[in-house]
Structure 1
């Protein structure tokens, strides 16, 4: 009996390990996710200029619409008036630009809000960060769909470059960050407000 009890005492506690390392894992997960989607967005929209198609004979992006001119044997970048004559909806194009390029700005605000939430340990800061990220999750695909739908006649699937993949990847990281924050808030609300009790037993960590 004594040996058996000693074995039970020597057995490592999984709950203790989780309580010890969960704050560090929580911090690193938020940090890596924020760095990931901000880096993807700025690389795709600033460094690559948002060009969905970037080929020697064709460049199509949110601000560039250049097609190959066979007579001049060079790329001809079309102006808004010329795009209207070709049947491109300029209102949809402008809306897609707004949705796409406002996303990295909101992501920077969300990242700063997450940092404040860590420093102040404030539930409202986490809620605000979650709302900002949720807006980014909604408007990023809306901008992509608006843009690709109205210029689909000039783009082949095989011509889509890495910018589109980066934007899709950034959207996936944003969605994952929203889910993580929502689950964290739900767990903290359950801990502070047990079932059948209105007032919290402990403060928000």
Structure 2
């Protein structure tokens, strides 16, 4: 039950950060930096100016790395959703060879999310201060921690089951 709760909570946190907050890791009046928004303050126009992908190379941001970061950050939601379904339907009926998925799925999802965050931050780090990061960023970090706790919990439960046999 604890793994199911952590999986649902990590999904909710990712949903909040990536969909409700639109993946904006920095959301301030003078800049909005997210997986789909790269908006910086334009002094001349005195307004927030959003950049399109063809403009990114001019400011040393690789659009291909941003696309890879988007893929890596959004993919774990799919894996965790299937993981929740997998746990809820097969909690006590798992055969030994399928139990490995209980800890591999959250480790894989956490790795993807971490890679996505690091790739994105590596591209926009010049415009970010730590204090600029929004609640969406914190939600993704907490989701990452929850996925690692899921994996640790599953791994420990599997070791205990193995010792009982």
Instruction: Flag whether TM exceeds 0.5 (same fold).
Output: yes
Q: Structure 1: how far apart are the matches of 2:121 and 2:94? A: 41
Query: Are 1:41 and 2:14 counterparts?
Result: yes
Residue-pair matches, total: 165
Contact 2:69 2:119 in 1 (8 A): yes
2:73 match: 100
1:120 match: 93
Shift of 1:109: 1.1
Q: Structure 2: how far apart are the matches of 1:121 and 1:152? A: 44
Contact 2:65 2:119 in 1 (8 A): yes
Shift of 1:120: 2.7
**Which protein shows a greater Rg?**
1
RMSD: 1.4
1:63 match: 36
Contact 1:113 1:125 in 2 (8 A): no
Per-residue displacement from partner, 1:154-191 (whole Å, max 9, x unpaired)?
Answer: 11112111111111100111000100101111111111
Secondary structure at 1:146 match in 2: helix
Secondary structure at 2:91 match in 1: helix
Q: Structure 1: how far apart are the matches of 2:104 and 2:39? A: 37
1:79 match: 52
Structure 1 unpaired stretches of 5+: 1-26, 193-205
Query: Are 1:168 and 2:141 counterparts?
Result: yes
* TM-score calculated relative to the size of structure 1: 0.76
Shift of 1:84: 1.0
Structure 2 unpaired stretches of 5+: none
Q: Using CA pairs below 8 Å that are at least 6 residues apart, which structure has the higher relative contact order? A: 2
* TM-score calculated relative to the size of structure 2: 0.94
Query: Are 1:90 and 2:63 counterparts?
Result: yes
| Consecutive aligned runs of 4 or more in structure 1 exceeding 3 Å deviation | 121-125
Q: Structure 2: how far apart are the matches of 1:43 and 1:136? A: 17
